[in-house]
Every structure is written in structure tokens, then in C-alpha cells.
Amino acid sequence: MRSAALAWLLAALLPGLAMAAEGRQVFERRCASCHAAAAGGPAGAGPNLAGLIGRRVAGDPEFDYSPALLAAGEAGQAWDAALLDRFLADPEEMFPGLWMGANGLPGAADRAAVVAFLAAMRPHSD
């Protein structure tokens, strides 16, 4: 009985872990030059993204956000998987005037993987 439960648990968890691992690779290639995602890591050209899911937009007090993101945060927007996916598809379209120079991630699989990776990162301020 225990081995069946363990097999079920592994089957349930492994796809998510694999997607987060893939997301780490995409993040390293496309995002890490500006963003950290490690708990306690410093902000770079962009804010630290550890603990992003559930955080208010423009919610890292240690980062100087663009007025477009500050306005979204002041309006009460918070990052969840759906909002992050939409943002990663076309950041400038979602928040015109954004100070982020990248063009986003056009591939849905890459976006889903990065969202899974960031969802697994714990907050950077404990």
C-alpha cells in the first residue's frame, strides 16, 4: 500500500518538478541577466523574482519600478500564474511604458515553464 501511494505521489509531482527544472533553464537563458530568483539575492537591473507569485505588482520595496508597474501595484494587482503568463507573453503590451527591455517569451511552453520555476521560488525577504 505504501509503495502505491509513493508511486502516485511521484507521478503527481515529477511533471511539475520537470517543468520547474526546464523553467530554470529558460530563466537562466532569457531572464537571469537582469533578474535574480534566489531567496536573499540582490536585485539586478530588474527586481529579484523569488516569491513573486502572490506578491503585489511592484511589491519589492528594494527596487525602483517604472510608473507603469507602480500604478498596477497601487491598483491592487498581484502576481499569479495567469497574470505572469500574460506578462511574459508581451510585457510592453500589458504595461505600456515599462522599463524592461526584453521582448517577453513568445512560446507558451517556455512561459509555462518559467511560471512553474518562479512559483517554486520562496520569497527573498524572510
| Residue 18 pLDDT greater than 80, yes or no | no
Place of cell 534566489: 38
100 or 2, greater pLDDT = 100
**Quick check: pTM over 0.85?**
no
CATH superfamily, domain 19-119, is Cytochrome c-like domain (1.10.760.10)
| Beta carbons of 120 and 20 less than 8 angstroms apart | yes
Distance CA 103, CA 91 (A): 7
Q: Is 34 exposed, middle or buried (0-12, 13-18, 19+ CB in 10 A)?
A: middle
Radius of gyration of the chain (CA): 16
| Residue 59 pLDDT greater than 50, yes or no | yes
Domain boundaries, the chain: 19-119
